[in-house]
Amino acid sequence: FDFIFIDALHTEEFSRGYCRNLLVPLQQQAVVAIHDIVADEYGGGRESAEVYKYMAFSPNVKNVFTMSRFGMPSILSPVENAVKLVHEIRASHGIVKPCNLTTNDCKEAVYDPLYFANNDAPTLFFQLN
């Protein structure tokens, strides 16, 4: 596989199974996306514990990335105010208009059609091998 997208039963048992039966035996390079992996602001809940264990002990997991405001860009090294920083980068490239810090309109979903928001249970991306 070149790309694996997992959006399945969000339980520890099921995620233990897909880590063991799909990800561990994979010998080629692939990008993996696991949807809705977390359920709380600390990165826990749902299947996250089993996936985190797999990632921690797998020598071939690299380039972890998430859009969660609590763990962006990576659950392994979160950056404070990451969503604001991403908006500033997007504005500097003309993708969106700069936010008005006085009115704090960056948090408004209607601010710009290209504004992104998430439910803090976003997709977790990583690269294998």
Q: Which of 66, 96, 69 is nearest to 84 (CA)?
A: 69
**3-34: buried (b, 16+ CB within 10 Å) or exposed (e) per residue?**
eeebeeebeeeebbebbeeebeeeeeebebbb
Which amino acid is residue 107, in one-letter code? K
In this predicted model, which residue has the larger pLDDT, 70 or 112? 70
Say yes or no to pLDDT of 17 above 90.
Answer: yes
In this predicted model, which residue has the larger pLDDT, 84 or 17? 17
**97-119: buried (b, 16+ CB within 10 Å) or exposed (e) per residue?**
eebeeeeeebeeeebbeebeeee
The 10s digit of each residue's pLDDT in 31-52 is 999 987 776 666 677 788 888 8
The structure's pTM equals 0.67
Contacts with 52 (C-beta within 8 Å, 6 or more apart), sequence order: 43, 75
Q: What burial class does residue 39 get, using C-beta atoms within 10 Å of its C-beta: 0-12 exposed, 13-18 middle, 19+ buried?
A: middle
